[in-house]
Amino acid sequence: MTKKNAVELREVAKKIRVEIIKMLHCSQSGHTGGSLSAADIMSCLYFNEMNIDPKNPKMQGRDKFVLSKGHACPVLYATLAEAGYFEKEKLSTLRKLGSTLQGHPDMLLTPGVEMSTGSLGQGLSAANGMAMAAKLDDSDSRTYVLMGDGEQQEGQIWEAAMTAHHYKLDNICAFVDHNGLQIDGEVESIMGIEPLTDKWKAFGWHTIEIDGHDVEQILGAIKEARDTKGKPTVIIAKTVKGHGFTFCAGKVGYHGKAPTDQDIEEGLKEINKS
Ligand SMILES: Cc1ncc(C[n+]2csc(CCOP(=O)(O)OP(=O)(O)O)c2C)c(N)n1
Ligand SMILES: [Mg+2]
């Protein structure tokens, strides 16, 4: 795919956000906040960085993406549709019986989904396997993973972090969508994860802290990860849960709540003005 520039990537992120709220409004269930916080990262990965071919989802040597925080699949589905893996019309079937777009990503149902996820904590382990396989194949394929900040509380993540360092998986680039909120409230008040960057450093990872809504910073961090040899990289991306729409930005109540009729009306007006 041709690489989009920063201006275009911001526009794509906007389109992804619109599709997210539209599909969640249609399904009247699903995860709004954590999908919206990741839209800029997804735009940069799929429309600038990753070596992929939406018309040939299983292309040999392609880069891989694992959505470890699988509940945020609306952002993945909107991104895949925008990239051309399937028709945008499908997005309105989110969570419907028989749809290929279920409430959590299913690699057997949806073109472009590399790993079935939803049970938090598992994505990095799967990514390790993909990255090790690429090394064995002498392939340039890189593996990207997106985790939540609440998800950092899962023990399996730290086993996987240890493994990726031990096997020098410099072909892994992980993101933490650091939006400060999880299902029940603030991450720091439920089970504190700070100092998060120091923890990843202690596990031997190269760490980068960025504003996860700043396209230039995201692109710079991805490049730095690619240039970092001998160890995996984690990008701690500070974000706002529900970013882009006043009705849900920074509101914990919109973790697993779909936009109402009024929300969608206000939201579409707001984004058209921005
Ligand atoms: C193992 C596991 N436990 C609990 C859940 C239920 N659950 C879904 S989303 C979520 C909160 C996740 O918070 P965070 O990782 O911060 O995600 P984000 O804020 O990006 O939505 C929880 C507890 C789950 N999916 N998997
Ligand atoms: Mg969170």
pLDDT confidence of 113, banded at 50, 70, 90? very high
Q: Is 182 in the pocket of ligand 1 (CB under 6 A)?
A: yes
Question: pLDDT tens digits, residue range 124-136?
Answer: 999 999 999 999 9
Atom of ligand 1 nearest to the CA of 38: 20
User: What is the 126 CA–ligand 1 centroid distance (Å)?
Assistant: 18
User: What is the 157 CA–ligand 1 centroid distance (Å)?
Assistant: 13
Phi, psi of 223 (to 5 degrees): -65, -45
User: What is the 113 CA–ligand 1 centroid distance (Å)?
Assistant: 19
Threshold 0.85, pTM exceeds: yes
**236 three-class SS:** strand
Q: Is 157 in the pocket of ligand 1 (CB under 6 A)?
A: no
Q: Is 180 in the pocket of ligand 1 (CB under 6 A)?
A: no
pLDDT confidence of 141, banded at 50, 70, 90? very high
**64 three-class SS:** strand
Query: Which domains, and CATH codes, for the chain?
Result: 6-273 (3.40.50.970)
Question: pLDDT tens digits, residue range 210-247?
Answer: 999 999 999 999 999 999 999 999 999 999 999 999 99
Q: Is 196 in the pocket of ligand 1 (CB under 6 A)?
A: no
Cα torsion angle, 71, 74, 79, 81, sign: positive
Given a cut of 90, whether residue 1 has pLDDT beyond it is no
pLDDT confidence of 11, banded at 50, 70, 90? very high
Structure-token match 């993540």, residue found: 157
Q: Is 263 in the pocket of ligand 1 (CB under 6 A)?
A: no
